[in-house]
Amino acid sequence: MTTFEKIYSLFSIFFVLGLAAALALNPELRQLKPMLILASTGFFINIGYMFVVLRNIMCKSNFRQKDKFFWIALILIIWPASIIYLILYGFQKNITS
């Protein structure tokens, strides 16, 4: 991952956590107009986040094809698995075998 991708990944994770906390703590944000703005912003941020994470998985040369498909399926089914992937493998350099 490049430095920009790492920063973007962390930004998007903190955005989602902050959005969840803001919606839980501020009932006035649960109105239609603020919710549409926040949700659409979060949607576009997370589209970029998923692109960065899935691209990183596909570019790992030290992963077997089976491992790549496992992580892709797990991330697409369970979003928080992407955080675990980033901690375990995502922020490491790509090691060529």
Closest Cα partner for 60 from 73, 72, 48, 44? Answer: 72
Per-residue pLDDT tens over the stretch 27-76:
887 888 888 898 899 899 999 999 999 999 898 888 889 989 999 999 99
pLDDT at site 97: 41
Give CA–CA dist 50/47, Å, rounded. 5
Q: Write down the pTM of the prediction.
A: 0.81
pLDDT at 38: 86
- Helix extents (H) in 1-97: 3-25, 32-59, 65-77, 81-85
CB-CB contact of 68 with 57 (8 Å): yes
